[in-house]
Every structure is written in C-alpha cells, then in structure tokens.
Structure 1
Amino acid sequence: MSTVKTPNATSSNFTELGLISPLLARLTELKYQQPTPIQAQVIPCVLAGRDLIAGANTGSGKTAAFALPLLQQLSKASNSKSSQGNYVTGLILVPTRELAKQVADSIKSYAVHFNGSIKTVAVFGGVSANTQMLALRGGTDILVATPGRLLDLISSNAIKLDRVTTLVLDEADRMLSFGFTEELSALFALLPKKKQILLFSATFPEQVKALTQELLNDPVEIQLQSSDASTLVQRVFTVNKGQKTALLAHLIKLHQWQQTLIFVNAKKSCNHLAEKLAKRGISAEVFHGDKGQGARNRVLEAFKAGEIQVLIATDIAARGLDIEKLPVVINFDLPRSPSDYMHRIGRSGRAGEVGLALSLIDHEDYHHFKVIEKKNKLRLEREQVAGFEVAEAYNEASFNVDKPMAKPEGSGKKKRKDHEQINADIWLRKD
C-alpha cells in the first residue's frame, strides 16, 4: 500500500491536476480558486487509475475530489454507453438519502459543460421506486445509491452492475455502522472483479480496515490530519442538570445566530426540545427519520435558504448535510458514538469558513465526553456562562476531575466568566 500523509502538498490551481477544459471552466464559474489538500492528492491518483483509501475531515471537498476525475474518465470512455441492458459505469454508494441527493446534485453541477452527455441518477429509499426505475431506463453513467434501494432495483431488473468500472464508497465507516454489511456484500458479489475502487472514510474502525484489505488492489492511502489548520472552533460549556434548555435559549438569543443546527439523540427529543424552545420564544423545526422524504427535503431547503433559524436533528443530519457558512452546531445531547462527534461538528466550518461547535454538558455527560475527547485526540477547556454556573459540588466532583479550577485569592468562589466575554469575538480561535 502506498501512503501519502502530506496535507501541505497542494497544487496552486486545478490546471496542474490534469483536468480537462469543460471541468476547469465549470470550476471557474463556481469560483473554486485552489484545490483543497484532499483534491490535490486524490484527483491525480484517480486519473492514474489507482485504487485509494482516503481520510479527511468532513467539509474538506472530497465530493469534488472523486467526482471531477470520474467525470473526466467517463467523458473520454468511447464505450461508456451500450444498448445491452441497463448499464451503470460509475457507482457511488452512500449511507443516507440526503447524502445521495447532495452528491448527485454536485456531480450534475460539475458536468454542466458536457452538455448532457453524462447521465447521473440518484436512488434511495423513502420515495417511489417506480420514478427511479423510469429514470434508469437505458442505463446511466453515474449512479449514486443507498445500498438497500439499489438491491431492490437490481431485483426488479432496473439496473445491472456487471459493467461498473469505478466504485466509490463514500462515508464507508457510516455505512458499516448503519448495518449495511450484508447489503454491501451482496452488491460486491454483483460487481465485476476488475474495477477501480475509491474508499472515503472520516474514521477507520476495524470493519473499514478489513474492507480495505479485502477489496482494494495496492491502494494509495491518503490521510490528511488538518486539525491545526481547521477553521472550526470547538467549545464546551458546563451546565447544571435541567438547565441545558435555558442555556441554549440564552445563547441563541444573545448571539442572534441566523442558522443554528442542534443535535439530539432521539426523534422524541427533537419534538420535545422544539416545544420547550417555543415556550421561550424561539421557533424551531425538526429533522428526523419519522418525517417523510418530501418533508425532510423541504425542511433542509428552507434551512439552507435561511428561512428556518433553528433546526433540531438526530444523527441522520450528521452526514451529507452541506450548508454554506453554517455558523454554529450545538450538541445538546452528546452523540453515542465518539466518531459521530466529528461528523456532527463538521457541518460547520466547511470549506475554510469560520465555524463554531458547542457542546453543552452536565455532570452526567462528563465522563462520556472524556471518552469522545480520547477517541478523537482532543482536549477542550470546560467553560461556564455567566448566570448558568455549575453548582460547586458538581464542579469539583465531576467537571474538574483532571484539573480542579483554582480559586482566586481572597475569594471562596471560583472565578467566573464575565458576561461580556461571551460575545462575537470569543467564538474565534484562541491562540
């Protein structure tokens, strides 16, 4: 396996990466000025036909990293279309409906100057399979799919995988954690033995490593550790049990964030928190698995357009949600999986934009947050907000186990953050 771990090795422009003029023209229109580190390293490898496994922070531009060279390969393939059966040439597997739609929309946007010669279709559950079957008539060059719906369409003879030349596994760790192992095995059995495989994963649990060894052929490994250059600020506020909602409402009103994405762990929690915020004068919409796909799409579009100020979501929004300049993400409930923490907070601070990720923790959350920090190699200062200071007993017994907060001389109380410190400037990274 070839390994590349040089995040600073970037090309100054997309021309140097060997992309063709229709793609370069579109990137200029989209105001893509310089390749991101993952784009600079992945694109040449894909164009060279190499298998690869790539890891990078969410929001790093990985969709363009695989979509641009895939489009270029298809544009040059003289035999990409055939009248024999319902073909697919490039297959992209993703874990969620939202990510499938987002990836397909991005590919269609990049392909504008191919004048319709490259067909892209997205298929996923929650909507009519008949509509998707109609879209697949005559085959497609690029298919973006969730595993379950793809297997359904294959069983209906709507699509065949025996002519796939490139397979992309996007968010591979998430697919495996969602329990797609059996579906993936069934799909791999239908694919041709000779194909290019591109695997993208933000984290690399044992299942992903096993998948890599089993499927990929002498892959290039690209690991980008870009936390030092991250524009995302992570902060942790401690709060007494039962006061999270009050603190959350206080912060939203104080900072007047135009868009706030709040994560909780259950569908019922979404509705319950929305009701409690409404009583405090804050209108919020919810986003979870019980909402139909059409309703989910409408909520997302309204949130992206700034028509919804506060969106409360479960972890189905932790991946595949790409909102330009989303100012803040808040963990009202800590994610059960430490890896989901990184995916949640990655909804903000994307593509070089400054972002803020807040976690609200009470004394019952403390030890789990330490696990999250350990797994993600983090250590974040515990802070307090004036008016919401943690009870003294909890502060010493729970929040400051590692490093008790020193008491100021001449005072029996801990030093507290002044209210004026919690302003716009404090959201910027501390030196």
Structure 2
Amino acid sequence: MDNQQLTPFLQENWQAAGFTDPSLIQTEVFEPITAGKNLVGVAPTGSGKTLAYLLPLINQLQPKEANQLLILTSSQELAMQVVEVARTWLKGSEIKVTSLIGGANIKRQQDALKKKPEVIVGTPGRVMELMTSKKLKSHQFKTVVFDEVDQLIHGQNLQLIQRILKSLPQTIQRLYFSATADKVLTEIQQIDEDLVVVDVSHEDTSQGDVAHFYLETSERKKVDNLRRLLNIPAFWGLLFFNQLSDLGAAEEKLLFHKLPVASLASDQNKQLRKQAIEKLKKHQLVGLLTTDIASRGLDIDAMPFVVNVDFPKSEESYLHRAGRVGRMGNEGIVISFVTPPELAEAKKTAKKLGITIEPVYIFGGALTTEKPEVHPDPKSKKKKSKGKKRK
C-alpha cells in the first residue's frame, strides 16, 4: 500500500496523523480489499487492523449514497471506537458514519438513518432489529466487515450473524478480522466458503515491548495489593476481573480509600461507559475496573499497564487483555495476580502463548523484580518475664 493510492482527503489525514509507513496487515490487505475480494484478516492486537479495512473501503466510498459499508462489532465499546476512528479519517469529506448499538436510544438512531449515512457501525442485535423493522435497508450494502469475528460467531451472536448475512445481497463483499481469527477459521468457512486468508500474525513486528509478570497473592489480599499498585506514581491502566460481583466489591473498597477509579461493566448504560473510558484517556483515573468487555477494541494511547486481578479463563482472553498495551510500537506491562494454586496454570498459559512471565513484587511504594528480604519483627518476640515464678 502506498498512501499515493489514497484519495486527497485521506492523504491529508495520513499526514496529519504523522504516519510514515503502513503496518504489515494494512499493506497486505489493501489490494485484495480494493479488488473486492472476500477476506479473513489475522494480525496481532494493536497492529492497526481497524485502519487495515477502513482505508481501502473509505477510499472507494461514494458521497451521498446511503448504506454502502456495514461494520459489525462484538461490543458497544468496539463499535464506538471504530466510529471514532472512522470519523477521524473521514475529515475533509462529505461522508457520514453513524452507530447502531444496543443500549442507545433507538429513535435517535432511526432519525440518524434518515440522513442517509454512507457508513454504519453496529452491534448485531440492534442492526438486525432495524433491518427487521425496515428502518435499515440491507439491500444497499456493498461491503460488510465482521470485526473481532471470533466473538461474533459464538453463542447467540452466531444466529444473528447468519440472519444478517441472509438479509444482505449475495454479491456483498465480506471481510472478517481478528487477532485470533485463525483459531476459528474452520467455523468462519462453514458460514462462508469463498475466502482469501491473510495471516500476518507470525511476521508482524508492530507489537511494542511488553513485559509480563505475575504477583503472587491470596484471594483475600488482592484488593489490598491493587490499592498498593494504584498508589505507585507512574501507574495507570486497565484492571480486569472475571466476575462483575468481584469488580463491584473492589471498586467500593478502592473508592473508600479515595483512589480515582471507575468501572466499565455490561450492566451500565452507554453514557456511563463512554464517560469512564474518556476519563481514563484523559488520565483523570488511575484505574478502570472492567471484565473481558474491554479486552477488545479499546485503544487507549500509550497506556502503560494492564492488570489481571483475576487470571484470564482462556489463552484468547489473556491475549486480548494484554493487547491493550504495547499497541503500535508502544511499551507496556502486564501484571497478573495469581494465588499459589493458580501459579502452575498461569505458567502453562504463558508457555502456550510463547511469552515469558516472571515474578514481581511491590516494595517501598514501587515495583521490583527482586524478592524483598523479610526481616523478623523484633516486637513479635515474646518478652521474658522479669518476675519470680510462682510456686
């Protein structure tokens, strides 16, 4: 891909972003997407997958022609992230993008569709709902993108995706993207046979230097260790939990200690979730407590830390959580809290992912890889009785 192949407004936005060379996935998929191929794109987290499909597709959009491009995402957060990126790169054009996500006001979304946006970004449930009610004219679409496809073809989402595909024109261009799409390639090919596979996950070098550590703790002391981490001056980042109930309890305790934290949970409304993400981006928070809802699509510039307060339940989950740091060449640190019984499993997961995971400690208000010496407390020794023994 050469930026001279882009339309003038995209070239200006390329220069404004300070880009020099495209990433590997952006280079490899530009020509096949431009040629109208149906494609599976696989690349590491933080390697520029969103722009990999957006640039060639925006490059071909026709202004004032509604519903040309449909982008389906696995979460509301990812949808809003894609909308934000698309709007940045559409500056200087007349092309409009709108979001269709669950949890948002459907009447406003219907009104937005009346303005005939060229690009639609949405979650499967809300998109299907608007297609069924004929508010979204599915026959007009020329391309559909499935972002984080491995999440979109699981559970209830799979049925929605199959219904949406049946509603779209048979000639529509179909693009599937994810960091772990290679693991579900067989499932993707079951719903779509005619596909070019572009996998750069082994050749891509855009991932920054990410260090992986584990901090051994008991279940009872997790929040206390989290509090100590959040008090380290340079610390700010995402804090991952497996259960919403544990997240809520930890947030309550941290707020009691007057630490600037917030939560990002599936039971919150869209506005609260958006505010929490914005506050973290503006460094108004030292920690955003969340679940795997935020492990995909969230792109927070140069965020230094990810903490697995609860160790991820799968290798994919670890990969996507860790992918929030080290994006586009930045450095990052991943710290996983592990209880003694979890340690062997954590090391096994790290080995499967091909990463080195080392112990880390909090000592003297800082992180250290050297195990602190524990000196016995002299006050804990029993004092000898000075009185005479009773007979």
- Scaled by the length of structure 1, the TM-score of the pair is 0.79
| C-alpha distance 58-344 of structure 1, shift in aligned 2 (>3 A) | same
- Aligned with residue 169 of structure 1, among 136, 146, 166: 146
State the Cα distance separating 1:305 from its structure 2 match: 1.1
Aligned: 1:417 with 2:371: yes
Q: How do residues 373-392 of structure 1 correspond to structure 2 at under 5 angstroms? A: 373-386=350-363
Larger radius of gyration: 2
Residue in structure 2 matched with residue 14 of structure 1 by the alignment: 3
In structure 2, runs of 5+ residues without a counterpart are 374-391
- Residue 290 of structure 1: SS of its match in structure 2? coil
Aligned: 1:238 with 2:192: no
Residue in structure 1 matched with residue 378 of structure 2 by the alignment: none
Residue in structure 2 matched with residue 331 of structure 1 by the alignment: 308
2: CA distance between counterparts of 1:58 and 1:310?
21
Question: C-alpha deviations, 1:172-213, integer Å up to 9, x for none?
Answer: 012234530110010010111112211101113764422235
State the Cα distance separating 1:367 from its structure 2 match: 4.1
Q: What amino acid is the match of 1:171?
A: E
- Aligned with residue 68 of structure 2, among 71, 83, 89: 89
Between 1:57-66 and 1:134-143, the stretch displaced more is 134-143
- Aligned with residue 40 of structure 1, among 17, 27, 31: 27
2: CA distance between counterparts of 1:160 and 1:229?
39
Aligned-pair identity (%)? 28
Between 1:264-273 and 1:198-207, the stretch displaced more is 198-207
2: CA distance between counterparts of 1:228 and 1:185?
34
State the Cα distance separating 1:381 from its structure 2 match: 2.8
Alpha carbons 1:52, 1:216 under 8 Å: kept: no
Alpha carbons 1:93, 1:144 under 8 Å: kept: yes
Q: How do residues 348-359 of structure 1 correspond to structure 2 at under 5 angstroms? A: 348-359=325-336
1: CA distance between counterparts of 2:86 and 2:325?
22
Aligned: 1:340 with 2:317: yes
Flag as ranges the 4+ runs of structure 1 deviating above 3 A. 204-208, 226-230, 278-281, 382-388
State the Cα distance separating 1:280 from its structure 2 match: 4.3
Cα-Cα RMSD: 2.5
State the Cα distance separating 1:338 from its structure 2 match: 2.0
Aligned: 1:101 with 2:55: no
Question: C-alpha deviations, 1:124-176, integer Å up to 9, x for none?
Answer: 00011110001011533211110000111112211121122111110001223
| C-alpha distance 223-297 of structure 1, shift in aligned 2 (>3 A) | same
Q: What amino acid is the match of 2:104?
A: V
Alpha carbons 2:206, 2:329 under 8 Å: kept: no
2: CA distance between counterparts of 1:222 and 1:274?
39
- Aligned with residue 247 of structure 1, among 225, 245, 249: 225
State the Cα distance separating 1:386 from its structure 2 match: 5.0
| C-alpha distance 227-357 of structure 1, shift in aligned 2 (>3 A) | farther
| C-alpha distance 56-151 of structure 1, shift in aligned 2 (>3 A) | same
Residue in structure 2 matched with residue 186 of structure 1 by the alignment: 163
Between 1:120-129 and 1:156-165, the stretch displaced more is 156-165
| C-alpha distance 295-278 of structure 1, shift in aligned 2 (>3 A) | closer
2: CA distance between counterparts of 1:371 and 1:133?
49
- Residue 233 of structure 1: SS of its match in structure 2? strand
1: CA distance between counterparts of 2:38 and 2:265?
35
- Residue 320 of structure 1: SS of its match in structure 2? coil
| C-alpha distance 385-101 of structure 1, shift in aligned 2 (>3 A) | closer
Q: What amino acid is the match of 1:104?
A: V
- Scaled by the length of structure 2, the TM-score of the pair is 0.87
- Aligned with residue 273 of structure 2, among 274, 288, 296: 296
Alpha carbons 2:29, 2:53 under 8 Å: kept: yes
Alpha carbons 2:99, 2:120 under 8 Å: kept: yes
| C-alpha distance 387-327 of structure 1, shift in aligned 2 (>3 A) | closer
In structure 1, runs of 5+ residues without a counterpart are 1-10, 82-86, 389-414, 420-431
Residue in structure 1 matched with residue 90 of structure 2 by the alignment: 111
- Residue 242 of structure 1: SS of its match in structure 2? helix
Aligned: 1:158 with 2:135: yes
| C-alpha distance 251-122 of structure 1, shift in aligned 2 (>3 A) | same
- Residue 230 of structure 1: SS of its match in structure 2? coil
Alpha carbons 1:197, 1:216 under 8 Å: kept: no
1: CA distance between counterparts of 2:346 and 2:139?
46
Alpha carbons 2:239, 2:290 under 8 Å: kept: yes
